[in-house]
Amino acid sequence: MYKAEIIAIGDELLHGDQVNTTAPFILDQVRELGYELIRITTVGDESDRIVKAVQEAIGAAEIIFLTGGLGPTPDDITRESLARAINQPLEFRPDLWREIQDLFRRRGRETPPANINQAYLPYHAQAVPNSLGTACGIIVEYQAAAIIVLPGPPQELRRMFQDTIRPYLERRYPVNPQGRQQSRILKVFGIGESQVMDRIQNLVTAARDTGVRFGFYPRDGEVHIVLKTMGGEDKDRMLLDHLAGSLSNLLGDDLYGAGDDTLPAVTGDLLRSYRQTVGTAESCTGGLIAHYLTDVPGSSEYFRGGIIAYDVDVKEKMLGVCRKTIDTFGVVSEQTAMEMATGARSALGVDFGIATTGLAGPSGGTEETPVGTVYIGLAAPEGTTALRIFWPRMSRSLVKAIAAKNAIDLLRRRLINRYGED
């Protein structure tokens, strides 16, 4: 079996300032292609360490992915570090420079001089077209390895992989379909990893002799269950389908989707199917619910708009929240969240109004209402409800993300309970 390795480059990844969303995508592609991933390494923007990581990978894997560091700024040093690792000079590629200039010209902008750095590649390297940006990818065949360098932005990386890298790998490193790994990904929201395991323990135990491996991966309030089996035959596919169906029965409404499904997209499909509309009133999430919902193509069919009611006056004047409610129960309270949701439903003329009010931190909490507390209000045709969530000791951005997802999930569950599933 061919071995693969991923080297993710960037200080922002190493220091935790940015979540690496591209490595999971590459991992899924590697599995589908039938290769074995032996290591994922994160390296900062330091050339010597990048060189060392690449040289170590050359002796361990046939397929080496490098991600990030292909931009035009001084800290984008992947190109020169790769050239050092394989002892080759960088060469200027006039064709790439013309393509970069043409891209800026089509956008009606002058080409920044710094972008000329992106026209340099290691000697004899193959340039991989980037239809979405200025940074081309790179393929270097060195010794027994293929070194593949991809841009950091997820959309650019995914398009490049599907258009060019995957066909290249299928030609250079073909795998017998029977030797390919098949997998299923099931996505859960609303319960933690230990609760998931409690529910499905008997099934996991019973499936041990089938050769199917189970993996559990918590991600921003979600739990992804990955089922994997080596073998590309129909019996392997049928086994995975059977186990996925059994898991669905055990997990019920906590299982929201599979594969590439996202919580906003699944909820949007329900809204579209039942011809319902939604609007938002957000305080602590600052428009994140609206962002998640509108990140789905076609969301204009069901999303009408949102109000960011950060200030108390905005809550009162635009959403009709009573001053007495705020004085009696507080801005961060179940009652305020429900009145905000009702106000959004009325102001935006929608079937469902979603609202959030809380303390994302890091300061501002009290003993009664500590940081990490968020109330989510949901106004529906049949009435209004609220949900309290509490995620202490989390970063501000993570509290906001989890709160926004919980709000969408609350709507999803209401739609399922109200209309049933087809």
Torsion of CA 45, 49, 50, 51, to 10 degrees: 140
| Mean local confidence (pLDDT), 32-58 | 95
Two structure tokens written together for 410: 């609350």
**Predicted confidence (pLDDT) at residue 277 exceeds the cutoff of 90:** yes
**Predicted confidence (pLDDT) at residue 414 exceeds the cutoff of 90:** yes
Give the residue range(s) of CATH 3.90.950.20 domains in the chain. 263-419
Reported CATH class of domain 178-258:
alpha beta
Distance CA 226, CA 213 (A): 8
| Mean local confidence (pLDDT), 390-415 | 94
Distance CA 336, CA 330 (A): 7
Distance CA 270, CA 408 (A): 12
**Predicted confidence (pLDDT) at residue 17 exceeds the cutoff of 90:** no
**Predicted confidence (pLDDT) at residue 251 exceeds the cutoff of 70:** yes
Question: 352-363 burial string, b = 16+ CB within 10 Å, else e?
Answer: bbbbbbbbbbee
Q: How many CB atoms lie within 10 A of CB 167?
A: 11
**183 φ, ψ (degrees, to nearest 5):** -150, 160
Give the residue range(s) of CATH 3.30.70.2860 domains in the chain. 178-258
Distance CA 386, CA 337 (A): 7
The most distant pair of C-alpha atoms in the chain lies apart, rounded to whole Å, by 74
pLDDT of res. 179: 62
pLDDT of res. 422: 46
Q: What tens digit of pLDDT does each residue of 199-238 get?
A: 999 999 999 888 898 989 888 889 999 998 877 678 888 9
Q: What tens digit of pLDDT does each residue of 340-370 get?
A: 999 999 999 999 999 999 999 888 888 889 9
pTM (two decimals):
0.77
pLDDT of res. 394: 86
Cα separations in angstroms, 114 against 118, 149, 194, 372: 8, 20, 50, 43
Share of the chain above pLDDT 90, in %: 83
Distance CA 242, CA 277 (A): 35
Cα separations in angstroms, 328 against 284, 331, 372: 20, 9, 21
Give the residue range(s) of CATH 3.40.980.10 domains in the chain. 3-175
CA torsion sign for 150, 154, 160, 162 is positive
Two structure tokens written together for 176: 């017998």
Q: What tens digit of pLDDT does each residue of 291-347 get?
A: 999 999 999 999 999 999 999 999 999 999 999 999 999 999 999 999 999 999 999
Reported CATH class of domain 3-175:
alpha beta
CATH 3.10.520.10 matches 263-419: no
Distance CA 55, CA 64 (A): 10
Phi-psi domain of 372 (left: phi exceeds 0; alpha: psi -120 through 50; beta: other): left
